[in-house]
Structure formats: structure tokens, C-alpha cells
């Protein structure tokens, strides 16, 4: 193969001078040819990497190969000289098990795709020595901590979304100057603060939603190219910086965190700047933002969506919103905005949704109400007035408007005068009761005098609640009642009280304690309920064996709390009680439109009849939820309200995020289930041989370790079917999942409990045994009662609930909507 010297001696040039040059060139050529031959002949992959690839292949059951894997294996790519592995692409290969440690040998990998292997588990291997550019391990089931990638200075893409990574992120994770695309979303156990992004000047997408990050939103002051920021569904608490430096911003979503402080300013693209780099979506809903809308927001020509609902925003809206040319959706619900809704909103031709409910707006221009194609809602703005449009094309002459206004005012004054006269007249009659027209006919009103007679001058105290003392009473016809007297320092006004009575008297179900009547007189607010002789579920779970025994109807002791000695409640009975209470709640949630949220579900609010039938009580603070079309909507919106409920039972989601939904009741009901299983109070925080600090944690540990016996109420020892018990424990834990959306509906809970009681040998279709856990046998509804004191006739309260069908669907007499009391 030595090149002939013939070519060198061409053109008859002097041989001697040429030949030495020729020799050198020839040697060089020879060497080059020889080198290519060597690399073609023997595989050049580093031996360590070959064995790492083999380990990988065998661990994941991948196909065998012959020859150089660089040439023959589709998931491996190598460097040009084929000395190192440069890329691994195992996307969607159904990999199972975890990644072998040998993987860490492949330090030259630049492209790594392990995505879409939902059964790939375990930690990521040590990647500290790697120099990755593009790392995709999304949609796997990886756990452990996200590794520090500080050697990967060229990292551009980091896609680790939808895994189970835990713990905090390494502080240097985002400090890479080529990083453009980060997606860590849906790693629900990723926590701690979000590391700084100050070096990541090329960053475009920063997606960290649905994790558990806390603390501040990063500054983003060095991230001018950032377009999409997704941080929704975390636990972030502050937004300390404006976003004006993020000039490329298109979308920011921080929905559903716990951020307080003011809304940030955003960059205002001038209309000359390149299209496409404009703010289009601002989503700050479900936080604790306060203050008003920043003035910079009014210049967002391209913004399509502004959602700032469910915050603590206040003050009037900016007057001139005519600049929001592209705005389609403006959601301001559940804040404390006031003033008039700006007329300039009517000029926005793209505006489709304008949601203003639950604020304190005082005026709304008629042009907005009449705007074609606009979906506008402004419920519960108690002081709102329509503002007639002075420029209306329909051509109301000014005189007519003045006339209308005067007429409206006149009518208003007239009504007020009449109302006052009417109230006076009632007062004169010596009777401070609200007229029958105001109240539903099924709730009977009593005078204070009658209440004194019914309770024998408040002789027997049967309980004490947040509401005030509860006394035993007997109506003239012998019907036993529980008389709840609201403490006179109660903040609640008469209107609210009557509203409550209206709601309560319209709820009819055999598993809800029936309201008998009420008394509103001389600052006293009193409610009368059907008496439940067997007290509360709580008494039965925790006070069993208590010594004092007395029956209020025969008791001679004055003002004493009565409790009777009780036997341990069997598991079957506990399940029966839970099913009944569950059905009561299911009725509130499902059959009432809009749903009614109980808000104080606990074992002390589950009362028992003589036959130990359970009924849910104390709907005093229940709240009707807004009408919601879809599950989705129900998840996203909640009734924002003042926190009420009982410590130990409070849904953390409600507590932290002020989102009240029917799932808050499901959470509390889960706590009741834990009580019946363990015989422990929800506030317990120490447990034998366990480091758990909450009842939920204690039960969860035992369920995970398959040691249900360790947590079951000792009083139930060996008197239950194990599988059924596990089922109920798992159900209770599901009811307490952190996000409402993950929890079951009450209907599903009742179904699961029914299966558990069937495992105990109670068969639903066996008529002989159904009474064991039936809900309607011996319903204590009375026929019409003539009240000799007031002369009122009380209509049976729960007529509709005296059914023969066991399904709740046959009972619904829930109001179509809770109408507010007339002012
Ligand atoms: N209808 C009733 N029948 C018998 N006892 C009742 C009735 N309602 C309430 N009680 C007793 O009064 C206590 C306080 O009731 P309640 O005011 O509902 O409590 P809270 O406000 O703490 O929920 C209950 O724990 C129970 O012992
Ligand atoms: C793969 O092939 C090599 C030889 O080509 C052989 O030694 C080895 O046993 C094979 N492995 C499997 C898992 O088939
Ligand atoms: C994910 O891993 C967990 C254990 O870490 C396991 O319980 C679960 O079944 C896995 N999911 C899938 C889809 O394999
Ligand atoms: C990462 O993987 C997921 C799932 O295969 C895919 O949707 C995504 O586009 C990938 N990212 C990149 C940058 O290729
Ligand atoms: C981020 O990941 C989620 C899945 O967890 C996906 O829905 C979303 O489209 C991804 N976003 C980007 C910008 O990659
Ligand atoms: C709402 O804002 C007011 C002041 O405007 C403040 O007093 C109150 O504490 C805030 N509430 C919450 C829950 O942040
Ligand atoms: C609106 O609320 C702010 C405080 O949030 C208050 O200072 C202002 O007076 C209110 N304006 C009107 C018209 O009620
Ligand atoms: C609503 O505004 C009125 C006056 O316009 C004021 O009296 C009332 O206190 C406000 N309500 C709330 C909840 O801010
Ligand atoms: C109108 O807005 C409500 C929310 O207030 C929404 O539920 C409904 O679907 C919207 N209707 C249309 C036609 O967009």
C-alpha cells in the first residue's frame, strides 16, 4: 500500500529534492489510512461503558446485540469516534424496576430520554459527573431527590414532570446559562423553596405546578426571555417582586397557593414591540392577594384572561379599562372590590366572561348588563344598583331618567315606611315574633314564655355547644325536644338567624335531626330540635362505662349535664351509624341544589335515637355552596368564607386555602371514621409504639404496614372482620387526601361502608336483618300537633322523610335555592 513514487517524479522535476518531500507526504497518508482501518476493525467504546450498557440492557430486558452497540442498537447513540455513549433514548419502553447504579459510568451522555416509563421506579443514579444537555425523565415513577446537575453547565432542557420525586431541590439546579425549558410539574412531594434562576438568562418555560413548594416565588429579574411561568397548586406564600423585567412574559399562573401581598406589576409591551411576546394570561386566583389591580395591568393590549378570583382584593377597579382590547375573561369573584364597575368594560369587543359575584360593588352600568354576548354575573354584591346609561342610544330623555330615579326612590321610601309601620304594629301587639309570611310554614315559632314552659324554666341542661347551652324540653303534647339557646353575645343578627331557620326547616331527611321550631325574642335566638335520647356518637365512643345515670324526663337535678352509662358500641353498630350519618351528608351534598355544606361534621354532631339510629345535627353554620356546573368548577371554586368548624376535624385545604367545598365535609367525615375505628379522639397526638403525631398518620402507617390490629379500638378486639376494617380504614384515609378533588363523594363513601357492613354479615337484601341497621324503622315523626299555647298548628317536619324506600333520592325536599331574607 505504499504510494508509488511515480506520482512524485511527474513533470520531470529534479528527483532528489522531490523525493524527500514525497516520502514525508507518503508516510502521513499511510498513517491516516492505517488509523481509519484500526477504528473500523475494533470497537472503540470504552470498556466500562460497554459493561454499563450491558447491565442496563439486562436490567431492562432489552434485546441482545452483536458487534458495536453504537452501530446496531437503536436506543444508543455515540460520539463521532464511537468512543463514548452520547445519547440514550429509552422513551416509552415499558421499563420496570430501577435504574442500575452502573448507569453513572456513562458520564458523556448529552441527550437522555427515559420518559413515559410509568413503572420505572427508584432514585435517579448519581449524575453529578454528567454533562447533560437534554434530560427527560418525565412520566415515570421515579422517587428520591432530584440530583444536583452542577457539572451539566450546558443543560438546556430539564423535564422531570409527573414523577414522585421528594424533598427539596438542589440550590444550583436552575443556575445554568443555557437552560430554556424546565418542567417539574406533578411531583406532589417536592417541597422547600424554589431555587434561584438568576443565571438562567435563556429560560423560556418554567413549569413547577402541582408540587408542594413553599416560600417565595423566585425573582425572575434576570429572566427576560421567560414566557411561561406555571406555579399553580403549590404552597407558595409570597410574591416579593414585580415582573417588569420579564419582558417576554406570556402566561403566569399561580392559582391556588397561599400568597399574600399585592399583585405584581407586569411588563407592558408597547404596541410596536414584536407580536407574540405579549402578556396573554394572568392567573392569580385562590390566594390571599390584597390591595387593588396594579395600574400597569390596564395597558395590557393583548391580555385575554385575567383571573384573580378568591383573593382578598379590595377598593375600586381602575376606571379606564378600555386598553384591554383582547380581554375575553375577567374573573373577580370572591374579593372585596367596591365602587362601581367601570363602564369602559363595555367597550371591550372581545369580552365574553365578566364574573363579579361576592364583592361589594355598589353600581353596575346598564350597558354592561345589556351587552350582547357577554356572560356576566354579579350575585351577592349586597349594595349593587344599576346605573342607567346617560348616553344610551335608546334615547331615554334625561327627564325620564330623573323620573325613573325619583320613582324608584319613592317606591323605596314607601316600602321602608310601610315596613317600619308594619314592625311597629307587630311590636304593639306585644309579640316580637316574625310574621308567618316571613317564615316557612314548617318551622313553628315560639314565644320566650312558651320556651320557659317547655324547658320547665331551663331545668335540665343536656349539653353545651359552640352555639350555647342545650336544654331538655317537652312540648305540651309530650313531644320531647332539645332547646338550643344561643348565647346573647352572639354576633349573628336576626336576619342571619332567620335565614338559617329557613334553610334548616327545608332540609328533610331521616338522617338529619329535624328542626321543630324557633324563638326570636328579646335578643334571644333559640332553636328547638327533635330530642335525641341516646346523645351523641362521641358519648358512645369515649364515655362508655361512665357512671352517672339519669333520664332527663325524670331527672330532679337542676342544670346538670346528663350522661348515662353506655355499653361498648359494636363494630357493626358503628358502621351502621356511619352509614346513616353519611346518607344525611350525601343528601345535603347531592340532593340540595346548590349543595349544602355542613361545615362541622364530627362525632359530637351525630346524634342517636332511642333505637340508636343516627342523625346528623347542628346545621347551624352550614353553608350553601354556589351553583356549579361541573366537577371541575367545584374543584376550582369554593365558597370563600370565614373559617368555621372544629379543631381536629378541619379540612386543611379549607383551612389553608379558604376553599370550602362539599369535600371539606368528606374530610371531617373521614375523621369520624378514624374515631369509630380507633376509639381515639381526632386531636390525639401521641400513640403507643409509634412516632406518628396525628391520628391520620398513625392509621396510615398501620395500614401501609398491614398491621390494622395495632390501631383498632381495644374494645373491639377480635370482634370484626379484618378485611372490612381495612377497607374502612383505607376509606377514611381517602377521605383525608390533601386535595378535595382526590377525595370520594359522600355517595361513594356510603357505598363503600355498605360493603364493609355486608362483610360483617349484614345483608342488605335480607329483610330479617335489615332492621339491624335500618334508617326508617320506627321513625318518630309526629302527626300534626295543635299547640295550645300559641294556637299555631305545626305541620309535621319530616313528612317527606317518612318513606319506605331506603334510597335518599326519594326524599329530596331541598330548596331549589336559598333565597335570602327580605330586607
Ligand atoms: N337534638 C338533641 N337531642 C339531644 N341532645 C342534643 C341535641 N342537640 C344537641 N344535644 C346535646 O348538646 C350538645 C351540644 O350541641 P351543639 O350545640 O350541637 O354542639 P356544637 O355547637 O358544639 O356542635 C351535644 O353534644 C349533645 O350532647
Ligand atoms: C447476548 O449475546 C452474547 C454473545 O453475543 C451472549 O454471550 C449473551 O449470553 C447474550 N445474552 C443474552 C441475555 O441473551
Ligand atoms: C409507583 O411506585 C409506588 C411505590 O413507590 C408504587 O406503589 C406504585 O404502584 C407505582 N406506580 C406504578 C404505576 O407503577
Ligand atoms: C419529554 O418527554 C415527554 C414524554 O415523552 C414529551 O412529551 C416531551 O416533549 C419531552 N420533552 C422533550 C424536550 O423532548
Ligand atoms: C409540563 O408537564 C405537564 C405534565 O405534568 C404537562 O401537562 C405540561 O404540558 C408540561 N408543560 C410544558 C411547558 O412542558
Ligand atoms: C385581607 O385584607 C385586609 C386588609 O385589606 C386584612 O386586614 C386582612 O387580614 C386580610 N385577610 C387575609 C385573610 O389575608
Ligand atoms: C372601598 O374600600 C376601601 C377600602 O378597601 C375604602 O377605603 C373605600 O372608602 C371604599 N369605597 C367605597 C365607595 O365604599
Ligand atoms: C360594603 O360597602 C358598604 C358601603 O358601600 C359598607 O357599608 C359595607 O361595610 C361594605 N361591606 C364590606 C363587607 O366591605
Ligand atoms: C357563564 O359563566 C358561568 C360562571 O359564572 C359559567 O358557569 C357558564 O358556563 C358560562 N356560560 C357560558 C355560556 O359561557
Q: Given this model, what pLDDT does residue 606 score?
A: 95
Distance CA 664, CA 654 (A): 7
Residue written as grid cell 342571619: 496
Centre a 10 Å sphere on the Cβ of residue 22 and count the other Cβ atoms it contains: 17
Q: What DSSP string runs through 362-411?
A: EEEEHHHHH-TT-EEE--S-TT-EEEPPTT-TT---HHHHHHHHHHHHHH
Q: Give all strands (DSSP E) within 427-514, no chain letters.
A: 444-445, 461-465, 468-474, 480-486
- Look at residue 157 and tell me whether its pLDDT is greater than 70: yes
Please give the grid coordinates belonging to residue 735: 377521605
DSSP 465: E
Q: Given this model, what pLDDT does residue 642 score?
A: 52
Question: Is the C-beta atom of 295 inside 6 A of ligand 8?
Answer: no
Distance CA 615, CA 596 (A): 16
- In this prediction, residues 781-799 reach a mean pLDDT of 28
Question: Is the C-beta atom of 67 inside 6 A of ligand 2?
Answer: no
Distance CA 530, CA 224 (A): 66
Condensed to tens digits (0 to 9), the pLDDT of residues 544-602 reads 543 333 445 444 333 333 344 467 899 999 999 999 999 999 988 988 777 888 888 99
Buried-state track 769-782, b at ≥16 Cβ within 10 A, e below 16: eeebbbbbeeebee
**Proximal ligand: closest to the CA of 483:** 1
The alpha carbon of 50 and the centre of ligand 2 are apart by a number of angstroms equal to 13
**Proximal ligand: closest to the CA of 471:** 1
- First and final C-alpha spacing in the chain: 109
Distance CA 482, CA 529 (A): 5
Centre a 10 Å sphere on the Cβ of residue 140 and count the other Cβ atoms it contains: 25
- Which atom of ligand 7 lies closest to the CA of 316? 1
Q: Given this model, what pLDDT does residue 377 score?
A: 93
More confident residue, 662 or 488: 662
The alpha carbon of 260 and the centre of ligand 5 are apart by a number of angstroms equal to 26
Distance CA 807, CA 590 (A): 12
More confident residue, 767 or 69: 69
DSSP three-state, residue 232: coil
**Parallel, antiparallel or unpaired: strands 329-331 and 353-355:** parallel
Angle between helices 662-678 and 722-735 (to 10 degrees): 150
The alpha carbon of 204 and the centre of ligand 3 are apart by a number of angstroms equal to 32
Active site residue 477: no
- Look at residue 257 and tell me whether its pLDDT is greater than 90: yes
- In this prediction, residues 341-347 reach a mean pLDDT of 94
The alpha carbon of 640 and the centre of ligand 6 are apart by a number of angstroms equal to 13
Of 749, 701, 779, the C-alpha closest to 575 is: 749
Please give the grid coordinates belonging to residue 194: 424554589
Of 733, 738, 680, the C-alpha closest to 710 is: 680
Longest dimension (CA), the chain: 144
- Look at residue 416 and tell me whether its pLDDT is greater than 50: no
Which residue's CA lies nearest to atom 5 of ligand 6? Answer: 290
Helix and strand totals (H; E) in the chain = 16, 38
Question: Is the C-beta atom of 141 inside 6 A of ligand 3?
Answer: yes
Q: Given this model, what pLDDT does residue 659 score?
A: 73
479 backbone φψ class: left, alpha, beta (φ>0; ψ -120 to 50): beta
The alpha carbon of 117 and the centre of ligand 3 are apart by a number of angstroms equal to 11
- Look at residue 764 and tell me whether its pLDDT is greater than 60: no
Distance CA 379, CA 361 (A): 10
Radius of gyration, alpha carbons of the chain? 36
- In this prediction, residues 146-162 reach a mean pLDDT of 94
Please give the grid coordinates belonging to residue 724: 372490612
- Which atom of ligand 3 lies closest to the CA of 121? 2
Residue written as grid cell 430486558: 61
Please give the grid coordinates belonging to residue 498: 332567620
List, in order, residues 6 or more apart from 680 with CB less than 8 Å away.
674, 695, 713
Residue 579, classified by CB atoms within 10 Å of its CB into exposed (0-12), middle (13-18) or buried (19+), is buried
- Binning the chain into helix, strand and coil, the percentages to the nearest 5 are 30, 15, 55
Which residue's CA lies nearest to atom 4 of ligand 6? Answer: 290
Residue written as grid cell 361498648: 568
- Which atom of ligand 6 lies closest to the CA of 658? 13
The alpha carbon of 136 and the centre of ligand 4 are apart by a number of angstroms equal to 6
Q: Given this model, what pLDDT does residue 791 score?
A: 26
**Proximal ligand: closest to the CA of 157:** 4
Residues in a beta bridge with 525 = 486, 520
- Which atom of ligand 3 lies closest to the CA of 143? 5
Buried-state track 73-87, b at ≥16 Cβ within 10 A, e below 16: bebbbbeeebbbbbb
pLDDT band at 761 (very low <50, low <70, confident <90, very high): confident
Catalytic option among 210, 576, 600, 651? 600
Question: Is the C-beta atom of 311 inside 6 A of ligand 5?
Answer: no
- In this prediction, residues 41-50 reach a mean pLDDT of 77
- In this prediction, residues 180-203 reach a mean pLDDT of 96
More confident residue, 392 or 653: 653
pLDDT band at 130 (very low <50, low <70, confident <90, very high): very high
Question: Is the C-beta atom of 262 inside 6 A of ligand 6?
Answer: no
Please give the grid coordinates belonging to residue 722: 379484618
Q: Given this model, what pLDDT does residue 379 score?
A: 84
- In this prediction, residues 411-417 reach a mean pLDDT of 41
Ordered structural domains, the chain, with CATH: 44-167 (3.80.10.10), 437-814 (1.10.510.10)
pLDDT band at 370 (very low <50, low <70, confident <90, very high): confident
State which of 140, 185, 208 you would mutate to test the pocket of ligand 5, scoring each by most atoms of that ligand within 8 A of its C-beta.
Answer: 185
Of 666, 670, 640, the C-alpha closest to 655 is: 640
Which residue's CA lies nearest to atom 12 of ligand 9? Answer: 375
List, in order, residues 6 or more apart from 177 with CB less than 8 Å away.
153, 199, 200, 201, 202
- In this prediction, residues 536-544 reach a mean pLDDT of 83
**Proximal ligand: closest to the CA of 649:** 1
Q: Given this model, what pLDDT does residue 369 score?
A: 86
Please give the grid coordinates belonging to residue 337: 372590590
Question: Is the C-beta atom of 312 inside 6 A of ligand 8?
Answer: no
Q: Given this model, what pLDDT does residue 482 score?
A: 93
Centre a 10 Å sphere on the Cβ of residue 632 and count the other Cβ atoms it contains: 10
- Look at residue 291 and tell me whether its pLDDT is greater than 70: yes
State which of 94, 99, 121 you would mutate to test the pocket of ligand 3, scoring each by most atoms of that ligand within 8 A of its C-beta.
Answer: 121
- In this prediction, residues 720-738 reach a mean pLDDT of 93
- Which atom of ligand 3 lies closest to the CA of 119? 14
Q: Give all strands (DSSP E) within 102-169, no chain letters.
A: 111-113, 120-121, 134-136, 157-159, 166-168
Least confident of 225-229, 501-505, 633-637, 674-678: 633-637
Of 187, 196, 123, the C-alpha closest to 159 is: 187
DSSP three-state, residue 261: strand
Question: Is the C-beta atom of 525 inside 6 A of ligand 5?
Answer: no
Q: Given this model, what pLDDT does residue 25 score?
A: 44
Least confident of 268-272, 400-404, 536-540: 400-404
Distance CA 729, CA 723 (A): 10
- Look at residue 679 and tell me whether its pLDDT is greater than 70: yes
Question: Is the C-beta atom of 314 inside 6 A of ligand 7?
Answer: yes
Task: Report the chain's mean pLDDT, rounded to a whole number.
Answer: 77
State which of 259, 290, 336 you would mutate to test the pocket of ligand 6, scoring each by most atoms of that ligand within 8 A of its C-beta.
Answer: 290
480 backbone φψ class: left, alpha, beta (φ>0; ψ -120 to 50): beta
Centre a 10 Å sphere on the Cβ of residue 107 and count the other Cβ atoms it contains: 18
State which of 159, 160, 161, 183 you would mutate to test the pocket of ligand 4, scoring each by most atoms of that ligand within 8 A of its C-beta.
Answer: 159
Q: Give all strands (DSSP E) within 257-326, no chain letters.
A: 260-261, 281-283, 288-291, 305-307, 312-315
Q: Given this model, what pLDDT does residue 469 score?
A: 84
- In this prediction, residues 373-377 reach a mean pLDDT of 93
More confident residue, 446 or 270: 446
- What is the percent of the chain where pLDDT is above 70? 71
- In this prediction, residues 366-372 reach a mean pLDDT of 87
**Parallel, antiparallel or unpaired: strands 468-474 and 461-465:** antiparallel
More confident residue, 398 or 303: 303
- Contact criterion met (CB below 8 Å) for 185 and 210: yes
Q: Given this model, what pLDDT does residue 742 score?
A: 87
- Which atom of ligand 8 lies closest to the CA of 382? 1
List pocket residues of ligand 4, CB cut-off 6 Å: 91, 115-116, 136, 138-139, 157, 159
- Contact criterion met (CB below 8 Å) for 361 and 341: yes
Task: Name the phi and psi angles at 624, rounded to 5.
Answer: -85, 130
pLDDT band at 489 (very low <50, low <70, confident <90, very high): low
- Which atom of ligand 4 lies closest to the CA of 181? 13
Q: What DSSP string runs through 655-675?
A: HHH--B-HHHHHHHHHHHHHH
Q: How far is CA 297 from the centre of its chain?
A: 28
Dihedral angle sign, alpha carbons of residues 395, 397, 403, 409: positive
Least confident of 24-33, 345-354, 458-467: 24-33
More confident residue, 32 or 495: 495
- In this prediction, residues 162-175 reach a mean pLDDT of 95
Task: Name the phi and psi angles at 578, rounded to 5.
Answer: -65, -40
- Which atom of ligand 8 lies closest to the CA of 360? 1
Question: Is the C-beta atom of 375 inside 6 A of ligand 9?
Answer: yes
Q: Given this model, what pLDDT does residue 417 score?
A: 39
- Look at residue 630 and tell me whether its pLDDT is greater than 50: no
More confident residue, 409 or 121: 121
Which residue's CA lies nearest to atom 25 of ligand 1? Answer: 604
More confident residue, 408 or 225: 225
The alpha carbon of 471 and the centre of ligand 1 are apart by a number of angstroms equal to 9
State which of 90, 93, 115, 141 you would mutate to test the pocket of ligand 4, scoring each by most atoms of that ligand within 8 A of its C-beta.
Answer: 115
Please give the grid coordinates belonging to residue 259: 400568597
Amino acid at each position: 500500500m505504499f504510494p508509488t513514487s511515480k506520482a512524485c517524479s511527474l513533470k520531470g522535476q529534479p528527483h532528489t529534492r522531490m523525493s524527500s518531500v514525497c516520502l514525508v507526504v507518503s508516510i502521513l497518508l499511510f498513517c491516516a489510512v492505517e488509523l481509519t482501518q484500526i477504528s473500523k476493525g475494533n470497537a472503540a467504546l470504552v470498556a466500562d461503558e460497554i459493561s454499563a450498557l450491558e447491565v442496563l440492557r439486562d436490567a431492562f430486558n432489552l434485546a441482545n446485540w452483536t458487534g458495536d452497540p453504537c452501530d446496531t442498537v437503536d436506543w444508543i447513540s455515540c460520539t463521532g469516534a464511537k468512543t463514548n455513549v452520547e445519547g440514550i433514548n429509552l422513551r416509552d419502553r415499558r421499563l420496570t424496576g430501577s435504574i442500575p447504579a452502573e448507569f453513572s459510568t456513562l458520564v458523556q451522555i448529552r441527550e437522555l430520554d427515559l420518559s413515559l416509563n410509568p413503572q420505572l421506579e427508584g432514585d435517579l443514579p448519581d449524575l453529578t459527573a454528567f454533562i447533560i444537555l437534554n434530560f427527560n425523565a418525565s412520566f415515570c415513577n421515579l422517587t428520591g431527590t432530584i440530583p444536583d446537575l452542577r457539572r451539566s453547565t450546558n443543560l438546556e432542557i430539564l423535564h422531570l414532570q409527573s414523577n414522585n420525586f421528594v424533598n427539596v431541590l438542589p440550590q444550583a439546579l436552575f443556575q445554568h446559562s443555557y437552560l430554556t425549558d424546565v418542567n417539574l410539574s406533578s411531583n406532589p412531594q417536592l417541597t422547600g423553596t424554589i431555587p434561584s434562576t438568576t443565571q438562567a438568562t435563556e429560560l423560556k418555560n418554567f413549569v413547577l405546578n402541582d408540587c408542594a413548594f413553599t416560600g417565595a416565588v423566585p425573582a425572575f429579574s434576570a429572566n427576560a426571555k421567560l414566557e411561561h411561568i406555571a406555579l399553580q397548586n403549590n404552597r407558595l406564600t409570597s410574591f416579593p417582586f414585580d415582573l417588569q423585567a420579564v419582558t417576554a412574559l406570556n402566561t403566569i399562573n399561580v392559582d391556588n397557593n397561599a400568597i399574600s401581598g399585592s399583585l405584581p406589576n407586569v411588563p407592558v409591551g408597547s404596541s410596536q414591540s414584536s407580536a407574540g411576546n405579549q402578556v396573554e394570561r394572568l392567573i392569580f386566583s385562590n390566594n390571599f392577594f390584597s390591595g387593588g389591580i396594579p395600574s400597569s395591568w390596564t395597558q395590557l393590549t393583548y391580555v385575554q384572561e385575567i383571573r384573580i378570583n378568591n383573593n382578598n382584593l379590595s377598593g375600586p377597579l381602575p376606571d379606564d379599562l378600555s386598553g384591554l382590547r383582547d380581554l375575553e375573561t375577567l374573573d373577580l369573584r370572591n374579593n372585596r372590590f367596591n365602587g362601581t364597575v367601570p363602564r369602559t368594560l363595555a367597550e371591550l369587543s372581545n369580552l365574553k366572561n365578566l364574573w363579579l359575584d361576592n364583592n361589594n360593588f355598589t353600581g353596575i352600568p346598564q350597558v354592561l348588563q345589556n351587552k350582547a354576548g357577554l356572560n356576566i354575573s354579579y350575585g351577592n354584591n349586597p349594595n349593587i344598583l344599576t346605573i342607567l346609561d346617560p348616553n344610551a342610544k335608546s334615547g331615554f330623555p334625561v327627564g325620564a331618567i330623573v323620573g325613573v330615579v325619583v320613582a324608584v326612590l319613592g317606591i323605596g321610601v314607601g316600602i321602608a315606611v310601610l315596613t317600619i309601620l308594619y314592625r311597629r304594629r307587630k311590636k304593639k301587639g306585644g309579640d316580637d315574633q316574625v310574621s308567618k309570611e316571613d317564615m316557612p310554614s314548617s318551622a313553628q315559632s315560639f314565644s320566650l314564655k312558651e320556651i320557659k314552659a317547655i324547658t320547665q324554666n331551663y331545668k335540665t341542661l343536656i349539653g353545651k355547644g359552640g352555639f350555647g347551652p342545650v336544654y331538655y324540653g317537652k312540648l305540651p303534647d309530650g313531644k320531647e325536644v332539645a332547646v338550643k339557646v344561643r348565647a346573647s353575645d352572639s354576633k349573628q343578627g336576626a336576619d342571619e338567624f332567620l335565614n338559617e331557620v329557613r334553610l334548616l326547616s327545608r332540609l328533610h331527611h331521616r338522617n338529619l335531626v329535624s328542626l321543630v321550631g324557633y324563638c326570636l325574642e328579646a335578643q334571644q335566638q333559640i332553636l328547638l330540635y327533635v330530642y335525641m335520647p341516646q346523645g351523641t356518637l362521641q358519648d358512645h365512643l369515649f364515655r362508655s362505662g361512665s357512671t352517672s345515670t339519669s333520664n332527663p324526663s325524670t331527672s330532679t337535678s337542676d342544670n346538670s349535664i346528663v350522661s348515662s352509662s353506655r355499653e361498648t358500641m359494636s363494630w357493626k353498630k358503628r358502621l351502621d351509624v356511619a352509614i346513616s350519618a353519611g346518607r344525611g351528608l350525601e343528601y345535603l351534598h347531592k340532593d340540595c341544589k346548590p349543595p349544602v355544606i355542613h361545615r362541622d361534621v364530627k362525632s359530637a354532631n351525630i346524634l342517636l335515637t332511642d333505637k340508636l339510629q343516627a342523625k346528623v345535627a347542628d346545621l347551624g353554620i352550614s353553608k350553601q355552596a354556589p351553583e356549579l356546573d361541573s366537577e371541575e368548577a367545584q374543584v376550582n371554586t369554593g365558597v370563600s368564607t370565614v373559617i368555621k368548624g372544629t379543631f381536629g376535624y378541619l379540612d386543611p385545604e379549607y383551612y389553608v386555602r379558604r376553599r370550602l367545598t362539599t369535600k371539606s365535609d368528606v374530610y371531617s367525615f373521614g375523621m369520624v371514621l378514624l374515631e369509630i375505628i380507633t376509639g381515639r379522639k381526632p386531636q390525639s397526638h401521641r400513640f403507643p409504639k409509634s412516632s406518628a403525631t396525628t391520628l391520620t398518620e398513625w392509621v396510615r402507617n398501620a395500614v401501609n404496614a398491614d398491621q390494622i390490629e395495632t390501631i383498632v379500638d381495644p374494645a373491639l378486639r377480635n370482634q370484626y372482620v379484618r378485611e372490612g376494617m381495612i377497607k374502612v380504614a383505607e376509606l377514611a384515609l381517602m377521605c383525608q387526601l390533601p386535595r378535595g378533588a382526590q377525595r370520594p363523594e359522600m355517595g361513594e363513601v356510603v357505598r363503600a361502608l355498605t360493603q364493609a357492613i355486608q362483610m360483617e354479615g349484614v345483608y342488605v337484601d335480607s329483610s330479617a336483618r335489615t332492621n339491624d341497621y335500618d334508617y326508617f324503622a320506627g321513625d318518630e315523626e309526629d302527626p300534626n300537633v295543635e299547640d295550645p299555647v300559641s294556637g299555631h298548628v305545626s305541620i309535621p317536619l319530616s313528612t317527606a322523610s317518612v318513606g319506605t324506600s331506603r334510597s335518599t333520592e326519594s326524599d329530596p325536599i331541598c330548596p331549589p335555592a336559598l333565597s335570602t331574607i327580605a330586607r
